[in-house]
Structure 1
Amino acid sequence: MEVVVRATVMFAVVYLLVRVLGKRELGQMTPFEFIVMVVVGDLIQQGITQNDFSLTGATLAICTFAFWGLVLSWASYLSPKAARLLEGEPRVIIQHGRLLAHSLRRDRLTRSEIESEMRLAGIASMRDVDWAVLEPNGKISFIKRDDGRGDPARQQDDQAAG
């Protein structure tokens, strides 16, 4: 039973740690961040099983993590409020071609990371982006401008010119 309690506590710690560390996909991690995650995994295992190297102890720990993952998944599925709390919400990082510095600071993203993701999405310039949204899963969704209709300032310019 001690393994189940330890696994539950470590699950909560890992869950909170992942939430605090922010939204990053595995592919966006630096090599150092990846190594830290591997080391954290080993430390978690040691904290859960202590000196219990038995197959039973390992099975209990894994099943406890799976159980709590399933509970949180169902809670998110059944309650939109729980989903926002557990999974987070999308955050706008580019609006009408302008980078929102406060959103970048909050998620510890740099301009160069955003520009790299834009290039991977086939977008050459930030001016070509109407909206960019950091999704709860760590991916960035880009919505391209459509001939200037998305930007109110550009609409006024077009009306004045036309």
Structure 2
Amino acid sequence: MDIVLRATAMFFILFGLVRLLGKRELGQMTPFEVVVLVVMGDLIQQGVTHNDFSLTGATLAIVTFSFWGLVLGWLAYRFPRLKTALEGAPRVIVRHGELLEHQLHRDRMTRAEVESEMRLAGIARMTDVDWAILEPQGKISFIRRDGGEARQQDDDTPAG
């Protein structure tokens, strides 16, 4: 039971930290940040299972994390008002070709990052963007002024 309580506490601590990191940091991690995340995972494991290296201890920790993940997912589905608090909300960062600096500041993004994402989506100029929306998952959706939606290129899809 001790493992379940520690796993529950660690789940909510980790959930809070991920929400504090913001959308953009999770979408565009540097190699160092990936290493820090892996190390953090090991530290979390040590905090949850303590000195219990048994299969039962590991299973209890994994099941507890999965349980809370499912509960929060179900709550977000069942109660739409909670969805924004649990998952975040899309945020407009470009409106009618104008970059909304105050929105960028909220998510610790720079103009250069937005322009880089625009180029990946095949958009050359800010004036060509009618709307740009930072999605809760950290991706940016672009809608062109001509009415055509720009495709957001994923890391594993070839350009073209």
Partner of 1:43: 43
Partner of 1:28: 28
Render the CA deviation track for 1:23-73: whole Å, top value 9, x for unaligned: 137561111211111111111101101111111000000000000000000
Partner of 1:94: 94
- How many angstroms apart in 1 are the aligned matches of 2:34 and 2:89? 24
- How many angstroms apart in 2 are the aligned matches of 1:107 and 1:67? 29
1:72 aligns with 2:72: yes
Larger relative helix fraction: 1
Unaligned stretches of 5+ residues in structure 2: 148-160
- How many angstroms apart in 2 are the aligned matches of 1:74 and 1:62? 18
After the TM superposition, which segments of 4 or more aligned residues of structure 1 sit over 2 Å from their partners?
24-27
Render the CA deviation track for 1:54-95: whole Å, top value 9, x for unaligned: 110000000000000000000011111010110111001111
Partner of 1:19: 19
Identity %: 70
Conserved in 2, the CA contact under 8 Å of 1:95 and 1:130?
Answer: yes
Question: Which structure: larger Rg?
Answer: 1
Conserved in 1, the CA contact under 8 Å of 2:49 and 2:57?
Answer: yes
Unaligned stretches of 5+ residues in structure 1: 148-162
Render the CA deviation track for 1:103-140: whole Å, top value 9, x for unaligned: 11111111111111111111011110011000111110
Deviation at 1:146, TM superposition (A): 2.2
Conserved in 1, the CA contact under 8 Å of 2:24 and 2:109?
Answer: no
TM-score (norm 2): 0.88
What secondary structure, in the 3-state scheme, does the structure 2 residue paired with 1:24 have? helix
Partner of 2:154: none
Structural RMSD (CA): 1.3
- How many angstroms apart in 2 are the aligned matches of 1:40 and 1:142? 33
- How many angstroms apart in 1 are the aligned matches of 2:50 and 2:108? 34
Conserved in 2, the CA contact under 8 Å of 1:25 and 1:137?
Answer: no
- How many angstroms apart in 1 are the aligned matches of 2:99 and 2:123? 15
Taking the TM superposition and a 5 Å limit, the aligned residue runs for 1:106-145 are: 106-145=106-145
Partner of 2:157: none
Aligned length in residues: 147
Letter in 1 for 2:85: L
